[in-house]
């Protein structure tokens, strides 16, 4: 999680992959910087007030300019 909890925050499950890595792995090649595991969806839990805010947090850390794609943002129900 990216920040200290605040009242009204929710946990969101964000799935992300790297389209450049995925393309290279399909050709049996590797990216110069990012590991091959980024070809598959990776899941991060993000603490945010809204799904849009969770998406912004992830986009800041994993920018689309570097090939990252957010495939889903889902709220998690806490027990």
Domains held by the chain: number: 1
In a domain, residue 2? The reply is no
In a domain, residue 3? The reply is no
- CA-closest candidate to residue 48, choices 65, 35, 38, 60: 60
- 8-state DSSP, 7: T
Q: Is the pLDDT of residue 77 over 80?
A: no
In a domain, residue 20? The reply is yes
> pLDDT, tens digit, for every residue of 20-61?
999 999 999 999 999 999 999 999 999 999 999 999 999 999
In a domain, residue 38? The reply is yes
| 50 three-state secondary structure | coil
In a domain, residue 4? The reply is no
Stated pTM of the model: 0.85
In a domain, residue 22? The reply is yes
In a domain, residue 5? The reply is no
What gap in Å lies between CA 73 and CA 48, rounded to an integer?
11
């Amino acid at each position: 999680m990216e920040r200290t909890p605040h009242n009204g925050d929710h946990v969101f499950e964000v799935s992300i992959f790297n389209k450049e890595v995925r393309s290279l792995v399909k050709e049996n090649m590797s990216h110069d910087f990012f590991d091959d595991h980024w070809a598959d969806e990776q899941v991060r839990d993000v603490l945010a007030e809204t799904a849009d805010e969770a998406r912004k947090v992830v986009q800041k850390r994993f920018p689309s300019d570097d090939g990252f794609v957010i495939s889903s943002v889902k709220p998690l129900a806490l027990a």
